[in-house]
Structure 1
C-alpha cells in the first residue's frame, strides 16, 4: 500500500494536505465543543427557575400544612397556599422544560456545526486520496514488469493531454503499437510522473 509519492513535490503536497485536513477536523470539533458549552449556559436560568419554583412550592405546602391544623377554618385557609404552591410548581416545570430544550439544542447545533466540514472531508477529499493510493499501489506493483510498463504506457496514452504526448514525439502512439521499448518506457515514465512515482530501478 502506497500512501505518499516518491517525488518530493508531490509527497510534500500530499503531506501538507493531510495535515491541513487533520487540523480542519480538529478545528471544527473544537468549534462544536464550544457551541455545545455555550448553548449549555442557556440552561442555567432554567436550573435556577426550577430550583426556586420547587423551593417556593415546598415552603408553601409546608405552610399550608401548618395552617390546615387550625380548627374549623383550617381547610379554607389552606386553599391559597395550595394554589400558590401549584403555581410555583408550574414555574419549576417551565424551568425543567427549558433545560430539556437547551439539552436538545446542545446536541443538534454542534452536530450541525461539524457535519458539513466532515462531509466535505468524507465525500470530497477522502475519495480522491483513496483513489491515488489505489492507483499508485497498482502502478508500483506492475512498473518492474514489461507487461506492466506497457499498461502504464497505455494509461498515459489514454489519459494524458496531447500537449504532453507530442513532446515525446509525433509518432509516439505508432512507436508504442510497434512495441518500441524506448517509447513504452517514455510513456510509462509519464504516467509514473503524474502519480509522483519514480521509475523502476532495473
Structure 2
C-alpha cells in the first residue's frame, strides 16, 4: 500500500488534504467537548437542589426525633416534621433527576454534534483515500514488470476518458491488442500519471515524448 504519490503536485495535494482531514476531526472533537462542558454546567442547580433538600430533610428528621421524645404528645408533634422531611427528600430527588437528565444530554448532544462531521470523513474522504492507496500500491508494485505494464495499459483503456485516449491516436486500442510495446508503454504511463506515479526506470523500447502532455 502506498501512502503518497511520486509526483510532487499530487503528493502535496494529498498531504494537505490529510492535514485538513485531521484538523477537521480535531476541531469537531473540541466542539463536542465544549458542548459537553456547557451542558454539564446545567447540572449545578440540580446538585445544589439535592444538597439543600438532603440537608433540610436530615435536620427535620433529627428535630422530629427529638420532639418525639416528648411524653404523650410526642407522636403528634413528630408528624409535621416527618411530612416536611419527606417534602425535602422529594426536592432532593428532583435535584438528582435533573442531574441524571443533564448527564444524558451531556452524552447525547456531543455525539450528535460530531456524528455528521465524522460521517463525512468515514464515508466520503476515507474510502476515496484508501481506494487510491490500494490502486497506487498495486500499480507501483507492477509498473516495472512487462506483464504489469500490460495490465496498467488495460486499466487505462478501461478507465480513462475517451477524450484522453483519443489524443493518443485513433488506433491506440488496436495497437495495444496487437502487443505494440510503444502503445503498451504509452497507456501504462497514462495510468501511472493519473495516479500521480512515475516509472522507476526508463524503458529502452519507449521513445521519449510518447505520452502527450496536456
> Would the TM-score normalized by the shorter structure come out above 0.5?
yes
Aligned partner of 2:154 in structure 1 is 154
Residue 199 (structure 2) pairs with residue 199 (structure 1): yes
Aligned to 1:102: 102
Which string of whole-angstrom CA distances, capped at 9 and with x for unpartnered residues, describes residues 90-118 of structure 1?
00000001111111111111111112211
Q: What TM-score results when the alignment is normalised by the length of structure 2?
A: 0.92
Distance of 2:134 and 2:158 partners within structure 1: 18
Q: How does 1:171-186 map to 2 (within 5 A)?
A: 171-186=171-186
How far apart, CA to CA, are the structure 1 residues paired with 2:87 and 2:162?
A: 82
Deviation at 1:200, TM superposition (A): 3.1
Higher helix share: 1
Provide Cα deviations, 1:31-86, integer angstroms capped at 9, x if missing partner: 11011111100100000000000111111111111111222111111110110000
**Which residue number corresponds to residue 163 of structure 1?**
163
Distance 2:147 2:75 in 1: 102
Q: Aligned partners of 2:155, 2:70: CA distance in 1, in Å? A: 100
Unaligned runs of 5+ in 2: 203-214
Aligned equivalents of 1:162 and 1:86: distance in 2?
83
Question: How far does the alpha carbon of each residue in 1:127-175 deviate from its partner, in whole angstroms, 9 at most, with x for none?
Answer: 1111111100100111101111111111111111111111111211111
Deviating more after overlay: 22-31 vs 65-74:
65-74
Q: Which residue of 1 aligns with 2:12?
A: 12
Matches within 5 A, 1:18-97: 18-97=18-97
- 2 CA distance for matches of 1:167 and 1:38? 60
Stretches of 4+ moved more than 6 A in 1? none
